[in-house]
Amino acid sequence: MSTPIFLHQVTVPSQFAPVDVLLEGGRMKFGAPAPAGVRIIIAQGMVLLPGLFDFHAHLREPGREDAESIASGTAAAVQGGFTGLLAMPDTNPPVDNGGMVQSVLDIAAKTSPIPVSVAGCITRRRAGEELAEIGEMHLRGAVMLTDDGDTVINPLLLRSALQYSRDLGILVGAHCDVRELSGSGAMHDGRVSYRLGLPGIHPCAEEIGIARDIRLAHSCRTRIHIKHVTTVRGVETIRRTKREGTRVTAEVTPHHLIFCDTDVGDYDTNFKVKPPLRTDEDRCALLEGVLDGTIDVIATDHCPHTEFEKNRDFASAPFGVTGLETALPALHHYFIRPGLLTWDMLIERMAVTPRRLIGQRPPSVADGAEINAVLFNPAAATKVKRSFVKSRSLNTPFLGRELQGRVEMVMLGDRMLHDASGVE
């Protein structure tokens, strides 16, 4: 930032009352007077948050740059208040060796405005037949192992990966599914799928997978992270095994917290995700899991697809929605504004815990801290239209909607990454 910024009476969740914050020289100064020549922002009612970190993003590069690139995906992330993210390895070719890890990191270093962390595959080509080059990927900087998008069908293979991860100190992220049960399903198996005539994905497919993978991790005395939990019984299993001492963490997506299977409506493919949107009972159980700490992370599962792909009929369209640009305003609109979720909880689930799980130091909003922050305006609106979207893909369930709350600024060190102040 070439000009220092002075935030007058901004709300900081850790403070009892609004404070004046000077952003200068890459650091924050609380209570300092506004020096001459500073840019003054009347920030009463606005909230200063630490930069968010998305724990689950599909950036598609290399191989599917028509849907997303590292440059466009991280631009979308900045638009949504994220100053870091974890890229999934389901690229083409997959990130299943040290060279691919290095390649993604090199592209990110050249094209991304924010730090990008990389996950590596558990199995070669994500085919579930033999282990990938786990040690080499770890040496090159991979911070998670996952075949996300697919489950590791062979439990012996997954157990071997968990043993390696324990010795290397790298986290395994589990996509929990039983293919024989999920099959060719297109949405949640229930009344709505029957009415629409669509093949269903039974919740048991996910719940059995969760129980199996947690049990395997417990047998190896190592950590495991359960991705995109969606069901009541899945939450209950994680809650119970945590109490028993298993080192399990879990995540939920904003779209699973906000929507349910009835939102599919008239075969709207922008609501087709995997695991699918479940019932309202499941949705409420997910929120309860966030509130009581059973679910540790809120992650977008940003999954871009081209308009051509998503414009197919519902049964054959690909699974996935985008989420980097809309997660923060949507969570504010649906949960913080009505008092169902606090800013402190959101910070813990979206800025602090994701980074800690992969050994990174979380940012803080405090006097003297390095600038890694988001200025959020609850009084403004986010209008999700084509001109707003930075992603190369438009498969968001929020397209055409207006969400209460807007990311005003995103700042990292001495750089202003995003500035929407004055934009209507």
Q: Alpha carbon 211 to chain centroid distance? A: 23
List, for residues 60-105, the tens digit of each pLDDT value.
Answer: 999 999 999 999 999 999 999 999 999 999 999 999 999 999 999 9
Q: What's the confidence (pLDDT) of residue 14?
A: 87
HSE-up of residue 264 (Cα within 13 Å, Cβ side):
30
For residue 307, the domain's CATH number is 3.20.20.140
Residue that the structure tokens 């009541």 belong to = 232
Measure Cα distances from 297 to 52, 107, 414 in Å: 11, 27, 28
Helix 98-111 vs helix 70-79: crossing angle, to nearest 10: 60
Instruction: Report DSSP state, residue 302.
Output: B
pTM for this prediction: 0.97
Range of the domain at 186: 51-357
Q: What is the largest CA-CA distance in the chain?
A: 68
Domain count, the chain: 2
Q: Is residue 331 part of a domain?
A: yes
Give the single-character DSSP code of 270.
G
* More confident position, 217 or 33: 217
Mean pLDDT of the chain: 96
What are the residues facing 67 on neighbouring strands?
Answer: none
Which of 307, 330, 357 terminates a domain? The answer is 357
DSSP letter for 312, please. Answer: S
Q: Are 101 and 132 in contact (CB under 8 A)?
A: no
CATH of the domain at 386: 2.30.40.10
Whether residues 87 and 112 share a domain: the answer is: yes
Under DSSP, is residue 406 helix (H, G, I), strand (E, B) or coil?
A: strand
The pLDDT tens digits for 206-246 are 999 999 999 999 999 999 999 999 999 999 999 999 999 99
What amino acid positions are annotated as catalytic residues? 301
Integer-rounded Cα radius of gyration of the chain: 21
pLDDT at 423: 55
**What would the pLDDT profile of 285-328 be if each residue is shown by its tens digit?**
999 999 999 999 999 999 999 999 999 999 999 999 999 999 99
Query: Is 362 part of a structural domain of the chain?
Result: no
pLDDT (tens digit per residue) in 351-393: 999 999 999 999 999 999 999 999 999 999 999 999 999 999 9
Same domain, 55 and 36: no
Within 332-387, residue ranges assigned H as helices are: 343-347, 353-357
Query: Please, what is the Cα angle at 243 between 239 and 248, to 5 degrees?
Result: 65
Q: How far apart are CA 347 and CA 47, in angstroms?
A: 12
Residues 6 or more apart whose CB falls under 8 angstroms from that of 100 comprise 89, 91, 93, 94, 120, 137
Do both 226 and 328 map to the same domain?
yes
In a domain, 424, yes or no: no
Q: Which pLDDT score is estimated for 421?
A: 80
**343 Cβ contact list (under 8 Å, min separation 6):** 13, 47, 49, 336
How far is Cα 87 from Cα 56, in angstroms, rounded to an integer? 7
CA of residue 24 relative to chain centroid, distance: 30
What is the Cα–Cα distance from 10 to 376, expressed in whole angstroms?
Answer: 10
